[in-house]
Amino acid sequence: MTSSFAELGVPAPLSAVLATQDITVPTPIQAATLPDSLAGRDVLGRGRTGSGKTFAFLLPVVSRLMADPAAARRRGRLPRALILAPTRELAGQIAASLEPLAARAGLAHVTIFGGVGQNPQVRALRAGVDVVVACPGRLEDLLGQGHADLSGVEVTVLDEADHMADLGFLPVVKRLLDRTPRRGQRMLFSATLDAGVDVIARRYLSDPVTHHADSAQSPVQAMDHHVLHIDAGQRLAVLTDLGAAPGRTVVFTRTKHGARKLAKQLNGAGVPAVELHGNLAQNARTRNLDAFHSGRASTLVATDIAARGIHVDDVSLVVHADPPVEHKAYLHRSGRTARAGAAGTVVTLMTDEQVRDVRSLTRAAGIRPTTTRADARHPILAELAPGERVLVPGGLAPLQAPATGGAQRGPKQGRPGGRSGSRQGGRRRAEGQGGDRQGRQDRGRGRGGDRQGRKDRGEGTGRQGQRQGGGGRRGTAQGAGRRTGGRRATSSGGSIVAFSTSSGGGRRR
């Protein structure tokens, strides 16, 4: 058995970087693939989540680029290596692992994904980078705008290829790969080799070497799998008890709404929790993950978006608050614990109505869980999550504030109407604010344009109501009453506008 990265052919400077992170012994997937990938072969590697696939492809990518000093004169828009990942979280994790290796090798890199402004990404591409770590959708968009060119790519990596297939990214992936040179090296890593992944491998990999580091379905040996048969009314109490135990816990729900609701409930019960799902803006996702990484939040409540690519050390417990639909999702979710040889526990909550589904699920996943009829007082909870329970009043409520939206402060709060008073009349969109000193509402149908704030009952005031406040010929935007409920919650007159679902104007607070 290989005992070091140097024996596999990894350059000494890169091995030294790994050693600073206490990574000295290659994992099975690394030991299996690195000799071929470092030699420039196309590689098809299968290994479970958490098996060390990231360094299995980062090391050959960096080694190849640093071995050619003449090519190191990077050119704008023309990256030399491309790494594709299915989610922005996974792309960020790959970039974080790449950073020290690239710094040692003198390579520049950029991470490209949606949900954030593209300008910083465009500037980096124009300045020139060696490695692009990207989600397929945003990268294709930037290519279409002419900000990037893949014709100079020497090595391409597809990470979590089966998850890309599950998310429907394979057509985009094919279009991206078609833009890379056929002569380049390509590596594909996946937990499973389903039909869609096999099509990609046969079409784009040239005489690949295939390595199977473990079974496609086998659960981690160090995982303990349990099913708690509970009454539906006990769900929150059981989750609160498990979440209040020491250590990090990841709780999975089936829907975005369910994740948000459960995170709020856990915080209310005293468990510091954050949510992670597709409805969160990127800065909120980053903030919540940082809180979980740092330990300020002990529980992460997530949808399946977090089942792949979220690498958090020392997750001791994974709880399926909602059992997943199919067995692959169960295995990927469960892979958040028992990583890198550590032990871990997986708990599935099951109500009477879910008995048949859970039994089918575990059978398909190839596991035999221990099933216990339990409630929040059952001693099995202390066995699954040992340690003293600690509840924090209010949980981590401040982190649950939405990242965007909400009321906005107008220019110079307190100036009644500001520039939107008498002279502007009804020119503003009027998300429910009065333009007068009294802040009187016009019921969302346009606003009074005079200092007395007279209502015009939906006729708008237009330009003629500058001083008399009479009804204008049209008003603007038909009295702006189209935006009933003040959903945009912007401010034109210096007041703070609250969200409202009523048909009346916005409320001043």
- Mapped onto helix, strand or coil, the DSSP state of residue 168 is coil
Q: In whole angstroms, what is the distance from residue 293 CA to residue 300 CA? A: 10
Q: What are the tokens at 117?
A: 């402004």
For tokens 């990999």, what's the residue?
Answer: 205
Q: What is the mean pLDDT of residues 165-177?
A: 91
Q: Looking at per-residue confidence, does 363 or 507 come out higher? A: 363
Q: What is the mean pLDDT of residues 77-91?
A: 93
Measuring CA to CA, how many Å separate 478 from each of 82, 455, 468, 502?
Answer: 51, 14, 19, 19
Is the per-residue pLDDT at 244 higher than 70? Answer: yes
Residue partners of 496: CB distance under 8 A and separation at least 6? 407, 408, 409, 410, 413, 508, 509
Q: Looking at per-residue confidence, does 145 or 411 come out higher? A: 145
| CA nearest neighbour of 446 among 463, 415, 425 | 425
Handedness of CA 213, 215, 216, 218 (dihedral sign): negative
- Tell me what the pLDDT averaged over the chain comes to: 78
Is the per-residue pLDDT at 405 higher than 60? Answer: no
Please report the pLDDT score of residue 309 as a whole number.
55
Is the per-residue pLDDT at 411 higher than 80? Answer: no
Residue 23: what are its φ and ψ, rounded to 5°?
-105, 100
The predicted-structure confidence for 421-458, as pLDDT tens digits, reads as follows: 333 333 333 333 433 434 344 444 434 444 443 433 33
Q: In whole angstroms, what is the distance from residue 59 CA to residue 102 CA? A: 10
Q: Looking at per-residue confidence, does 75 or 443 come out higher? A: 75
Q: In whole angstroms, what is the distance from residue 298 CA to residue 94 CA? A: 23
* Residue-wise DSSP of 322-387: S--SSHHHHHHHHTTSSGGG--EEEEEEE-GGGHHHHHHHHHHHT---EEEE--TT-THHHHHS-S
Report the helix count and the strand count for the chain, using DSSP H and E.
16, 16
Domains of the chain: 5-212 (3.40.50.300), 223-400 (3.40.50.300), 406-509 (no CATH)
Tell me which amino acid residue 30 is. Q
- Mapped onto helix, strand or coil, the DSSP state of residue 236 is helix
Side-by-side strand order, sheet with 131-134: 109-112, 131-134, 81-84, 155-158, 185-190, 43-46, 209-212
Q: In whole angstroms, what is the distance from residue 506 CA to residue 35 CA? A: 65
The predicted-structure confidence for 146-158, as pLDDT tens digits, reads as follows: 999 999 999 999 9
Is the per-residue pLDDT at 339 higher than 70? Answer: no
Q: What is the pTM of this model?
A: 0.62
